[in-house]
Structure 1
Amino acid sequence: MKIINKIISIMMIIFLFLIVLLSNLQYLAFDKNFYIHEFNKYGIEDVTGMHSSQLNKVVARIQDYLFGKVDSLQLNAVIDGQNQKVFNERELEHMKDVRELFKNGFLIRNIMIFLYILTALFLYIKKEDIFNYTYRGMLFVVLFLIVAVAVVSLDFNRWFVYFHLLFFNNNLWELDVTRDRLIQMLPEGFFSDISYLTMRNSVIVYIIIGFVSYLIKGKDHDKIGLN
């Protein structure tokens, strides 16, 4: 039974790890202020020929599309002084795949929340020290993410390509920066930044969870034992 409890505790930590990571990614992906910061950082107005108001309009459309609020990504915007369609067919097809990826990400995160609650309840019923498991698990998770960030930072482009090869079964993601506005608006640096911030924010949350668990561990277990 102890072995089963250990396995369940590892599963609980994995579920918590994914919940925090996917939640932080979702937060940044739908944070308009993050996009504004990135546009200023990479001079996207000059690259695309779109004023900030038009870029914000496009970002709002992208976010609504990924969240499933609208069925079509296409829209018109003023580009280089002319009102025209923003995206070409290749970009629209690629974004269909991206929306499916986000949809699956939302689903996985919600399933992880449900499974985390189940595993935590199981361990609680078995009178296991959930907070001790969580504390030790967060130590491992933080160490793992620090190493992962260090490795990916050495050659982000390589891992960026690996990501696309893993999650997409076509080459629609291979866009041309000279003509495709999607990659002009969201260059590789944008994805490097969102990856780093997702990891950084997640590490902060894991440290907080680990610290609180360290303060509580043993106490709740003793209380259960007295009962």
Structure 2
Amino acid sequence: MAKIPRQLSFQHQLSTPETEEARLDRLQRFERIAYQDGAHCIAGVDEAGRGCLAGPVVAAAVILPPEWTLPQINDSKQLTPSQRETLFPLIQQRALSVGVGMVPAEVIDQVNILQATYLAMEQAIANLSITPDYLLLDAVTLKNVPLRQRGIIKGDSLSISIAAASIIAKVSRDRLMLDYHQQYPHYGFAVHKGYGTKQHRQAIAQFGPCPIHRKTFRGVKEFLPSTD
């Protein structure tokens, strides 16, 4: 029998179900640490739309059953739209609780995007039907939330709870942007969801900002009507 080259053998190992099983097991690491630290109810928290030129910033908080896994669950940015849409209802069905928070563009302009992100996360936590006693967040901590918490850099790809929250936040926001596309079709929100793509920037330059644009953001504020 011909010997399988080492490189091909390694590639074959990467594609085996055991690799996905190992990845899903690693996604439980921070949850297990929190449980060992005395946590009983863990909520993962993440946001979507922080870097957009238009639309709200949306956050989600998700409480999953201990040791629960879901094949393909990952950071929402690593998934296709169809994968996110498939995972979205599965997370909602199996989660112990899901909360969503949203802060619109006008508030973002008033308080800045970082503070708006904190507000959206605080709303999402408040909208949970179960009060968690521990939070896992993607690279931030919430000073106004009196709960034990841990901010994890790249947490949406390292924690299953944060990954689930990232999917809920992303799909919820994308659906809102599809609705906004019906109101403001010239901007192409159905395609870019408010991010600063070339198409979007060209539309702002041609038509000027619309009511859901973030008027303090570069790429938008330059095209506001003159107040002189």
Q: Could you tell me the TM-score, scaled by structure 1's length? A: 0.26
More helix, by proportion: 1
Query: Which has the higher Rg, Structure 1 or Structure 2?
Result: 1
Q: Could you tell me the TM-score, scaled by structure 2's length? A: 0.26
